[in-house]
Amino acid sequence: MKKVTVVGGGLAGSEAAWQLINRGHEVRLYEMRPKTMTPAHKTAHLAELVCSNSLRAANVENAVGLLKEEMRRLNSLIMMAAEESRVPAGGCLAVDRVAFSAYIEKKLFDSGKVELIREEISAVPEDDIVIIATGPLTAPSLAEELAKLAGRDDLYFYDAVAPIVSAESVNMDIAFFASRYDKGDADYINCPMTKEEYDAFYEAIVSAKLYEPHGFEKIKFFEGCMPMEEMAARGRETMCHGPLKPVGLIDPRSGKMPYAVVQLRKEDREGQLYNMVGFQTHLLRGEQERVFRMIPGLENAEFLRYGMIHRNTYIHSPKILDPTMETRERQGLFFAGQLTGVEGYVESSANGLLAGINAARCAEGRERVIFPPETAIGALAHYVSGGGSGKFDPMNITFGLMPPLKERVRKKKEKNAKIAARSLEILETIDVS
């Protein structure tokens, strides 16, 4: 059995390491924290969730729900940890981030097969089998090397993250607990807005002062992570059709649906922290306080974390990767996680799982596994390795990445359920040993 080098102890790297040790291999895992921190990580823990504590929709009629189910069936460590550290969040799978990382570390270290080296890697190691999983905040020294390898175009762009407020600072005389359409438990805090309040908020957000990035890093926002002010700038009503949509929510005080609603989602088991759903932003901190306190119920909000702007590094995968996540040029060199151009916690973990399986195959001198695009994990792999068309942008999993059904099904939910059933059936037939 060989020792495989994994660079980056984030979601993808931890999942890849788990897949390797479960197939009998040893792992040398390089993680630069805490010696060198990224602009978003706060701890030295493996698989730290840097922003939201949600792993998104739980049901398989939703593409990310299907991806999670596939991961469960593929013995995913990230999914085991999520189940163990789950906190209530309606139809979403949300976790206690401390318990989540602790579970992952225990499983990896208890195996006795993982050697953790706290070191920043600044060049692709020359070892026989290497997985690079250094994520969207890859250290600049290594990013520079990767730029040469993968092509300088498209190496950088920005994402934006949402603020967290303390639960006790929310005015519950105005805000109310509910989940949309009363699905599951009433886990969200909802801040209702009248038309007048919404209009005033809109005017404030479109004229607020923004953080200005500098240098050569050109801003390219990913559609699924659009900053609130960017969304507002698209039109007066755009926020109302996006994160501030009121449908399925009735204000118990008026008995009516508000004009707009800001939702806050629980961040921790104790319910002390709440994340402003969809409020990723690059407003200056003082402006966040001024503008977001205009939201009814948040007039005295205590900001425990501000929304922020951050770098997202990814390689131009279609040029260099196979759907196995191995590079075409150098056998034994794999990439995994957000660095490959998948977007999101679940997608990054799933991609790490795939790279882990194939690095194990490589160590055993066996043929690599290619998951077909009918599976969610395969659809993502095919997308990043060139299955898509046109410009290469990071991507969340969606049913749109998977081939359509042969038969025509009108109802969306029914159609998605059939796509999910097809995927899980195919998954059973794939040899992942």
Q: Which is nearer to ligand FAD, 163 or 296 (CB)?
A: 163
Task: Give Cα 246 distance to the centre of its chain.
Answer: 25
d(CA 314, CA 393): 9
Residue whose token pair is 């075409």 = 328
Q: Which is nearer to ligand FAD, 136 or 323 (CB)?
A: 136
User: Minimum distance from CB of 120 to ligand FAD (Å)?
Assistant: 4
340 phi, psi to nearest 5 deg = -85, -10
Max Cα distance, the chain (Å)? 67
| Sheet bearing 273-276, strands edge to edge | 176-178, 188-193, 260-266, 273-276, 164-166, 303-305
Q: Which is nearer to ligand FAD, 296 or 311 (CB)?
A: 311
Residue 101: name the closest of 126, 84, 89 by CA.
84
Q: Which is nearer to ligand FAD, 139 or 193 (CB)?
A: 139
Contacts of 188 (CB under 8 A, 6+ apart): 90, 177, 178, 179, 180, 263, 264, 265, 266, 277
Binding site for ligand FAD (CB under 6 A): 7-13, 30-33, 38, 40-41, 50-52, 120-121, 133-139, 142, 159, 161, 310, 312, 337-339, 344-345, 348
User: Minimum distance from CB of 52 to ligand FAD (Å)?
Assistant: 3
Residue whose token pair is 């020792």 = 3
**Cβ-closest position to ligand FAD:** 10
Q: Which is nearer to ligand FAD, 193 or 376 (CB)?
A: 376
Helices (H), 151-210: 195-207
User: Minimum distance from CB of 336 to ligand FAD (Å)?
Assistant: 7
User: Minimum distance from CB of 13 to ligand FAD (Å)?
Assistant: 6
User: Minimum distance from CB of 186 to ligand FAD (Å)?
Assistant: 22
CB 127 within 8 A of CB 220: no
| Sheet bearing 333-335, strands edge to edge | 114-117, 26-30, 3-7, 130-132, 333-335
User: Minimum distance from CB of 35 to ligand FAD (Å)?
Assistant: 9
Q: Which is nearer to ligand FAD, 193 or 333 (CB)?
A: 333
The token duo for 234 is 């698209």
User: Minimum distance from CB of 56 to ligand FAD (Å)?
Assistant: 7
Q: Which is nearer to ligand FAD, 139 or 419 (CB)?
A: 139
